[in-house]
């Protein structure tokens, strides 16, 4: 994680909703602080230097940065949380990415290989596609501005990003980091999305080789190499090799768009631009380092699901990657653009400025790529059966039945209607929480999973498929029919989703070692607690003064608690109990009940019929003792008294 240095004399203590707790770094425009809200939400807060606070030009640049960042959908980028550009201390608070810079990772650990490199390429291509869909050019894409977090790579820092004008380009002086500038940037010519694509190629080459490909002992040497040096990409496996080579073309006209890069890396045809569903899948692939996927060209996949043994043991050899298993699945042909109504107008393929429009490569190159992919697909299909394809966002899914689940016809007015006709249901789950929802040995297990099976059965389903779904993709997956329900410790909130439930009322609480002297939250005064990215941390701080020990996730927190490095781990009680229940050492939930989290079932917005039906099932499962039995089954190894009373149901519709 980034090194956070202490605040110094003169640093503010509060900016907006955030209490400042340390310095992340300092640049030409300002200082970046780590801030925390009372709810425990963390943010990277960029504060304009005092020396520029009266400079209208500097404020204008700052406003432009905010405008740029707010226009970019949060696909593998950092979301803007809060900003104030009118006060005496103008600042922008963005989502804090707890990760290491790509440059530091490569410098310290060496070049990336195989799946790690592929996921980096897909994640960063997804981010650039989202940036360009907002008609933004980053202009300083480099290894320092790519952070590798627990959920995959994120592209950050829009400090010199510019909005594309009506001509589709930007005319300005050369600006950026020399070794990652494109030839047109050096020459002071028009800059566009194709400029970021060149930088992307240089970044991926750096990650693969550990060397800055346009390095030199002077600026003049660097610029000369950019203009004249051809980068050796032979160490890369296809299709990444060809994509990076074309991205590093000296002429902007010869480079693919970010859309085309993402489509190629995910095995999709380049007949249209990248849809919202494809961006969502890019995020999923980049963030998921546990599930094996296969890249198969669209049109070659059937509708059956792979046998479980093949899911867990993909082929050892692949003609596409030159020997490594291919870790992705593909989807169907991207839907017509009029289905992407949730995208901003500039993101629509026909509305993009000319340089960013996904027009596809020249016909001969497209044909060669297709026939190459076709041959690779034939080999994969012969070895591995077929891949389930659903609504432009495909992935391998694990089924409790034996037959494939087809995409729901548009005629279904509700999930209840679909289940009544097909007897099949697809449920999105989180898949990374022990005891709650964990993907393991080719299937899923945990409290959420068993509860979901009971609900599906009571709704009339004879076959249930579980799909691991990232947090950022839940609403879209429900909206486009990729999944019918989402049961993923999904708290009732104000998002554009129908919620049934809650199926469980969790509490923000603390996990401590059983048998120690800590029996209440007051006993934690002055003690050390683990500090993952959780609102529970702020809830504890509001009650008692503690020392925070940073951690990237709950697995790391459990290591610290087990070793005695911390005295407690804050979090939602069901999640804490799940992690603790798999330990040999005994732990207990303190019972502080600092705040409530109402876990609910996400349903497509407007499906009131399914919402009411699901709530009826939940109520029955509580009254029949099923929920009590499941809680005892999955959390019996920890001293924990879960909520067992039937919760008050949310209002449907």
Structure tokens belonging to residue 457? 């059965």
- Cα distances (angstroms) measured from residue 146 to each of 98, 155, 156, 373, 443: 12, 5, 6, 30, 33
Nearest CA to 35 among 63, 11, 53?
Answer: 11
Quote the CA–CA distance of 36 and 529 in Å, as a whole number.
16
* Secondary structure element (H or E) that encloses residue 276, with its range: helix 276-287
In three-state secondary structure terms, 473 is helix
Nearest CA to 287 among 109, 104, 470?
Answer: 470
Helix spans in 180-256 (H) = 183-187, 193-209, 219-228, 240-247
Structure tokens belonging to residue 289? 């380092």
* Secondary structure element (H or E) that encloses residue 647, with its range: none
Burial track 530-543 (b if 16+ CB lie within 10 A, e otherwise): bbbbbbbbbbbbee
Quote the CA–CA distance of 24 and 4 in Å, as a whole number.
5
- Cα distances (angstroms) measured from residue 515 to each of 587, 588, 589, 636, 639: 8, 9, 12, 17, 10
In three-state secondary structure terms, 356 is helix
Quote the CA–CA distance of 228 and 231 in Å, as a whole number.
10
Residue of 11, 55, 88, 140 marked active site: 140
Residue 234: how many CB atoms within 10 A of its CB? 7
| DSSP state string for 127-184 | HHHHHHHTTEE-S---GGGEEEETTEEEE---TT-EE--TTS-B-----S-GGG--HH
Is 11 designated active site?
no
Quote the CA–CA distance of 114 and 125 in Å, as a whole number.
17
- In the chain, % helix, strand, coil (3-state, to 5) comes to 35, 20, 45
Quote the CA–CA distance of 65 and 268 in Å, as a whole number.
33
Enumerate the active-site residues: 140
């Amino acid at each position: 994680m980034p090194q956070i240095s202490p605040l110094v004399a003169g640093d503010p203590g509060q900016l907006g909703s955030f209490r400042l707790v340390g310095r992340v770094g300092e640049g030409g425009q300002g200082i970046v602080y780590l801030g925390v809200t009372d709810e425990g939400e963390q943010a990277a807060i960029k504060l304009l230097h005092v020396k520029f606070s009266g400079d209208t030009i500097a404020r204008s640049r700052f406003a432009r940065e905010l405008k740029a960042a707010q226009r970019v959908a949060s696909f593998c980028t950092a979301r803007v949380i809060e900003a104030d550009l009118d006060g005496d201390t103008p600042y922008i608070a963005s989502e804090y990415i707890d990760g290491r810079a790509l440059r530091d990772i490569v410098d310290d650990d060496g070049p990336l290989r195989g799946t790690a490199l592929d996921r980096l390429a897909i994640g960063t291509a997804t981010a650039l596609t989202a940036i360009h869909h907002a008609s933004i050019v980053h202009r300083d894409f480099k290894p320092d501005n790519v952070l590798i977090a627990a959920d995959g790579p994120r592209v950050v820092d829009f400090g010199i990003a510019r909005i594309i004008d009506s001509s589709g380009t930007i005319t300005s002086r050369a600006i950026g980091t020399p070794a990652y500038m494109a030839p047109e940037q050096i020459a002071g010519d028009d800059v566009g999305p194709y400029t970021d694509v060149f930088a992307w190629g240089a970044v991926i080459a750096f990650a693969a080789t550990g060397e800055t490909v346009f390095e030199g002992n002077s600026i003049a040497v660097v610029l000369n190499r950019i203009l004249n040096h051809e980068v050796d990409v032979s160490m890369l496996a296809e299709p990444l090799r060809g994509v990076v080579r074309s991205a590093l073309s000296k002429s902007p006209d010869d480079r693919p768009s970010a859309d085309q890069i993402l489509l190629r890396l995910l095995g999709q045809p380049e007949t249209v631009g990248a849809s919202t569903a494809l961006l969502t899948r890019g995020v999923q692939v980049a963030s998921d380092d546990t599930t094996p996927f296969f890249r198969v060209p669209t049109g070659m996949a059937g509708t059956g699901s792979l046998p479980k043994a093949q899911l867990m043991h993909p082929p050892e050899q692949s003609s596409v990657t030159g020997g490594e298993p291919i870790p992705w699945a593909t989807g169907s042909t991207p839907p017509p653009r009029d289905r992407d109504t949730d995208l901003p107008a500039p993101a629509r393929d026909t509305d993009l400025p000319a340089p960013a429009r996904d027009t596809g490569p020249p016909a001969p190159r497209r044909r060669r790529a297709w026939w190459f992919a076709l041959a690779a697909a034939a080999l994969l299909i012969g070895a591995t059966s077929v891949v389930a394809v659903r609504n432009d966002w495909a992935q391998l899914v694990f089924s409790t039945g034996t037959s494939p689940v087809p995409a729901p016809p548009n005629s279904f007015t509700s999930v209840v209607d679909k289940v009544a006709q097909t007897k099949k249901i697809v449920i999105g789950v989180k898949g990374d929480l022990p005891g709650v929802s964990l993907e393991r040995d080719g299937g899923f297990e945990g409290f959420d999973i068993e509860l979901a099976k009971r609900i599906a059965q009571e709704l009339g389903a004879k076959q249930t498929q579980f799909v691991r779904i990232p947090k950022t993709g839940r609403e879209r997956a429900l909206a486009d029919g990729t999944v019918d329900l989402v049961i993923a410790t999904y708290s009732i909130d104000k998002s554009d989703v129908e919620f049934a439930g809650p199926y469980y009322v969790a509490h923000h609480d603390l996990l401590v070692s059983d048998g120690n002297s800590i029996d209440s939250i007051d006993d934690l005064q002055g003690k050390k607690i683990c500090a993952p990215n959780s609102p529970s941390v702020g809830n504890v701080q509001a009650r008692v003064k503690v020392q925070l020990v940073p951690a990237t996730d709950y697995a790391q927190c459990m290591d610290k608690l087990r070793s005695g490095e911390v005295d407690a781990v804050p979090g939602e009680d069901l999640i804490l109990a799940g992690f603790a229940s798999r330990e040999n050492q005994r732990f207990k939930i303190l019972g502080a009940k600092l705040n409530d989290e109402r876990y609910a079932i996400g349903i497509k917005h407007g499906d009131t019929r399914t919402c009411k039906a699901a709530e009826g099932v939940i109520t029955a499962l509580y009254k029949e003792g099923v929920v009590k039995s499941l809680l005892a089954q999955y959390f019996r190894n920890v001293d924990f008294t879960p909520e067992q009373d039937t919760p008050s149901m949310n209002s449907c519709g």
